[in-house]
């Protein structure tokens, strides 16, 4: 049985980058994994939903959401504020 979400990524950016796979049926877990990729600078290769690669606008939307979460977390940590204040001041995901 295919996992609903399948993310391909590489941990190293060199020529011999080994493509790794993350699979889950939970959309929230998939988004959290994208956050993890962005926070650690891993190379994103592909995002599939039920075995079919998502069109670029849809995968970009998920990546943009994950990037907003990363920005929000960093602002909260750096400024010592709560997510609600960050959302009010900067408009990222609370």
pLDDT of residue 94: 55
Residue 60 tokens read as: 């970009």
Per-residue pLDDT of the chain (94 residues; tens, 9 = 90+): 678 999 999 987 667 778 999 999 999 999 999 999 999 999 999 999 999 999 999 999 999 999 999 999 999 999 999 999 999 999 986 5
**Nearest C-alpha neighbor of 11 from the set 39, 46, 41:** 41
pLDDT of residue 13: 65
């Amino acid at each position: 049985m295919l996992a609903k979400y399948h993310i391909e990524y590489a941990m190293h950016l060199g020529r011999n980058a080994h493509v790794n796979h993350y699979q889950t049926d939970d959309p929230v877990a998939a988004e959290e994994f994208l956050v993890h990729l962005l926070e650690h600078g891993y190379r994103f290769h592909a995002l599939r939903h039920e075995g079919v690669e998502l069109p670029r606008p849809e995968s970009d939307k998920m990546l943009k959401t994950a990037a907003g979460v990363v920005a929000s977390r960093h602002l909260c940590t750096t400024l010592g504020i709560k997510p609600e204040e960050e959302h009010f001041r900067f408009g990222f995901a609370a």
